[in-house]
Amino acid sequence: MRLKTVIFSSVAVPAAFFILGWIGYLNIGHWLSLDEAPHSADAIICLASGGARLDKSVSLMSRGFADKIMATTDKTYIALIKKKVNKGALVRPEKNATSTYEEALFLKQKIIDLHIKSALIVSDPFHLYRVKWTFTHIYQNVPVHFSYISTEPKWANGFWWNNRRSRVFVLSELPKIPYYWIAHGIFGLKHNPAWVVVVKRWYGRELRKMFSTTAVTSPAGGKSQHLTWNPLVFYEIAS
């Protein structure tokens, strides 16, 4: 009986951990995502990046959820002006942020000075878990309520491995989260050291190369096909 128990445990326990780990791996994108219902607020915070965040921020303001948009970089500020947002409805950043942590940090004094008590923070779905941690950490002693509003990019539909952009986004987020917990949460760093910036850029380049579509020629007939990444079979052929 004892031998059977040992054998069963030696097989069942690793198998259970493997299955749970695989389920977790397949659902990473879902767990990283966050989307709350918009409501009336004092401001909309448009985090820096692509057009989907700009469009969502402008849409929220046009629907009356807030009467001002706070930009975190000059590039975002100028892009919002190009989208016909009145300058009087925009809050320009005093410093250009180069990371999510700096975006939250550099906005802090503006939020206090403008007596912002509630804000809608707009970003992409896989980014919002880290965004929420960051703003909660930095504003823990500031009386302001944040809601986290997701963009709706087509590349984020379905499972996270469905397309190249979502794969790169999710796998670039994963190391950033524990880094934020340790560097900003435990050690209290306010800015990324130069070596972290270098590693981040290198890692991003490697991810993009890893998940780029690679053309191959079929030996039968010479038809060009493509190798695409799939977490279930690692690589699959797609015509």
The CATH number that domain 31-155 falls under is 3.40.50.620
Share of the chain above pLDDT 90, in %: 62
pLDDT band at 39 (very low <50, low <70, confident <90, very high): very high
Given a contact cutoff of 8 angstroms between Cβ atoms, the answer to whether 211 and 170 are in contact is no
Q: Which of 23-32, 33-42, 209-218 has the lowest mean pLDDT?
A: 209-218
The reported pTM is: 0.81
CA-wise closest residue to 118 among 88, 143, 151, 91: 143
Residue spans of the domains in the chain: they are 31-155
Strands 234-238 and 224-230: antiparallel
Token code pair at residue 73: 């970089």
CB atoms within 10 A of CB 209: 9
pLDDT band at 145 (very low <50, low <70, confident <90, very high): very high
Token code pair at residue 128: 């919002």
Strand partners, 217: 224
CA-wise closest residue to 101 among 209, 4, 179, 20: 179
Burial level of 45, CB count in 10 A (0-12/13-18/19+)? buried
Residue found by looking up tokens 């053309």 in the block: 215
